[in-house]
Amino acid sequence: MLSESQIAVSQLHQLLFFYMYPLPLKWNKEYDKLVFEKLHQLIPWGIDYIFILSYIFFCFFDVVLINYCPIPGRHVRVDTIVQVLAGSLSIAYCAVIYAGLTNLSCVSGFNGLIRLVYDNNDEVRGSEDNLITTWVMLCVIASSLSGFFFALVLVAIEYDTFYFILEQILPPPMYRTRDTIIGSVLLRFVLILPGVTEISRSLSYVLTLFMVLLDSATKVAKRMTERLQDNPVEFHKVYVQLCLLYGMGKQYVHKVVWMALTGTFWTLVIFTWICIKGWHHLPPVIRNMFAVVTFLLVLFHVIMLPKAIQALITISNFADTGKKLAKKLYVRTHTRESRILVRQTRAVLPIKVSYGLFWTIDRDFLMDYLYLVTLRTFDALLILDF
């Protein structure tokens, strides 16, 4: 069962994207769980997904055109950087969305967690984090508006994917007619709009699901810690259920965490370097776009990342609480059942999310991560020139 704020976010997302075809996943209100759409209803989404994959090819094809067939009056380095970033971000999007919206075990784990919240939390509709809810709502609203305007701005300033290809096909500007110019602009806008809008919608949907997942797991951990202090056996059962649900989506969670943190890490470093080093070399619209994206990434690191890390720490501490309760019960009773419970709590591994092979997300992770972001940003500013 979703909380009132989570239901409001879901309804807001559906309202803002009412004109678009369905995603592979949808929330079933009757059964309170995520379900897959029927296959024939996903044909438009599959066609759009193929379009986005083609954008990746065209982005890197544009890099070749820009360097070997440069357009007079254009800044080759700026054009190359924009196309490489667009292609790289499209690759990250395709990987995350395909894994998140088509992974059966991950969806089953999500539904099981929502059911666990409903079964074990009587106050699920009254205990919600308004800051996270407001932030996610703002992200959904921004994503619904950004697709159209982002495509419009890219076409207007001639930095979209298909501009460089059409410039090689069309006659020189002095020989173009009015109909040719208007037709090429409309063609570029129509080609880029579906992909940009779909990227905005899907990323906001995955963000909403991720925050619901974190919020639900945190509620289970906090509520069970409060209610089951005097019942270690029941406490252990709930924790084992959490471990099983986490195991169903563990691989996907680790992949998403790695791609999200790595992507935001390098995107923030590169965009900060571009904003500082290339401020006087970029057109005003482009540099303002880079500045806005950099500001949003800083907000992500300041607001969202600490909240997510705190939720993961709360969940991981759930295991330590269970072990302490089992030991207290054994010290108090010295029964065979309590000794078995102590062994069972020791056998269950704590829920931990890793970043890569060597880093575990804990209390020290945020400071180390921000330190590396700052260090690599200064390295780029000192070593690389625009």
What is the DSSP secondary-structure string of 123-179? TTTT---HHHHHHHHHHHHHHHHHHHHHHHHHHHTT-STTHHHHHHHSPPGGG--HH
In this predicted structure, the answer to whether residue 252 has a pLDDT above a threshold of 70 is: yes
Percent of the chain with pLDDT over 70: 83
Q: Average pLDDT over the chain, rounded to whole?
A: 75
312 to each of 74, 261, 288, how far by Cα in Å?
47, 15, 35
Q: Is 171 or 4 the better-scoring residue by pLDDT?
A: 171
In this predicted structure, the answer to whether residue 137 has a pLDDT above a threshold of 70 is: no
For residue 25, count other CB atoms closer than 10 A to its CB: 19
123 band by pLDDT with thresholds 50, 70 and 90:
very low
Say what the pLDDT of residue 230 is. 65
238 to each of 1, 295, 312, 319, 342, how far by Cα in Å?
17, 40, 17, 11, 15
Burial of 331 (0-12, 13-18, 19+ CB in 10 A): exposed
In this predicted structure, the answer to whether residue 167 has a pLDDT above a threshold of 70 is: yes
Say what the pLDDT of residue 89 is. 73
Say what the pLDDT of residue 148 is. 72
Residue with tokens 């592979």: 24
Q: Is 378 or 203 the better-scoring residue by pLDDT?
A: 378
For residue 304, count other CB atoms closer than 10 A to its CB: 20
Say what the pLDDT of residue 124 is. 44
26 to each of 101, 139, 157, 178, 280, how far by Cα in Å?
10, 19, 36, 45, 46
For residue 36, count other CB atoms closer than 10 A to its CB: 15
Give the phi and the psi of residue 296 in degrees, each rounded to 5: -65, -40
Residue 224 tokens, joined = 């069970």
Give the phi and the psi of residue 359 in degrees, each rounded to 5: -105, 130
> Residue 355: which H helix or E strand, with range?
strand 354-355
Lowest mean pLDDT among 6-20, 233-247, 294-308: 6-20
In this predicted structure, the answer to whether residue 141 has a pLDDT above a threshold of 70 is: no
146 band by pLDDT with thresholds 50, 70 and 90:
low
Lowest mean pLDDT among 6-10, 42-46, 78-82: 6-10
Report if pTM > 0.75: no
Lowest mean pLDDT among 3-17, 72-86, 269-283, 332-346: 3-17
> Which are the contacts of 373, defined by CB distance < 8 A and separation ≥ 6?
265, 268, 269, 301
93 band by pLDDT with thresholds 50, 70 and 90:
confident
> Which are the contacts of 118, defined by CB distance < 8 A and separation ≥ 6?
1, 32, 124
Say what the pLDDT of residue 102 is. 65
Percent of the chain with pLDDT over 90: 0
Report the phi/psi class of residue 21: left, alpha or beta, with left for phi > 0 and alpha for psi in -120 to 50.
beta
Identify the sign of the CA torsion 108, 226, 361, 377.
Answer: positive
Say what the pLDDT of residue 112 is. 78
381 to each of 81, 170, 272, how far by Cα in Å?
16, 39, 9
